[in-house]
Structures are given as structure tokens and as C-alpha cells.
Amino acid sequence: MNLPQSPSFHLTGKRALITGASSGIGQACAVALADYGAEVTLAARRADQLEETAAQLREAGQTADVIVLDVADVAASAEAVERHGPFDILINS
């Protein structure tokens, strides 16, 4: 059996907002998007873990910003998107 392969693509010039980016699936999504060239904005409640992930991405030459945010606060989430956007990609994790 031969598995299909994804075509080569890049996300250069695209901006991505990833919630839940301090660990787990959200963090993995942020790393993958950054690897493909996206400028990532990491959002979650845990500032220390967000900053650590962003620092590692920056050390690798990628663009990463941080928003400390609880997405359960709808007004704060809308304000953050308004202030930091626009975004081309949204991952809610």
C-alpha cells in the first residue's frame, strides 16, 4: 500500500492565530504552520508556556507572537482578534 503524499506548499505571508497553543495539539499546529512559513500568533492562558514556545520558534528563525487569552471570554477574544488581526488561518484547539 502506498499512502498519498501531500503536495509541497508554503504559507509564506499568511498569518495564523492558534488558540490552545501552549501545549499539545495547539502547540503542534503552531509549530507545523510556522514550519510552512506562516507568521504564527500563539494564544492561551498559560503565558510562561506560550513565551517558551514562541522563543523556540524565534530561535529557529520563525515569526511568533503571543496573546495571553482565555477564549471563554468572548469579548476579550473579539478584542484580541481586532487588535492583532487580520488573520488568514484560525486553529481553535
Q: How far apart are CA 36 and CA 29, in angstroms?
A: 11
Q: Which domains does the chain have, with CATH numbers?
A: 15-92 (3.40.50.720)
Q: Please state the three-class secondary structure of the chain as a single string.
A: CCCCCCCCCCCCCCEEEEECCCCHHHHHHHHHHHHCCCEEEEEECCHHHHHHHHHHHHHCCCCEEEEECCCCCHHHHHHHHHHHCCCCEEEEC
What value does the mean pLDDT take over residues 35-59? 96
- pLDDT score of 78: 95
User: pTM above the 0.75 mark?
Assistant: yes
3, pLDDT greater than 90:
no
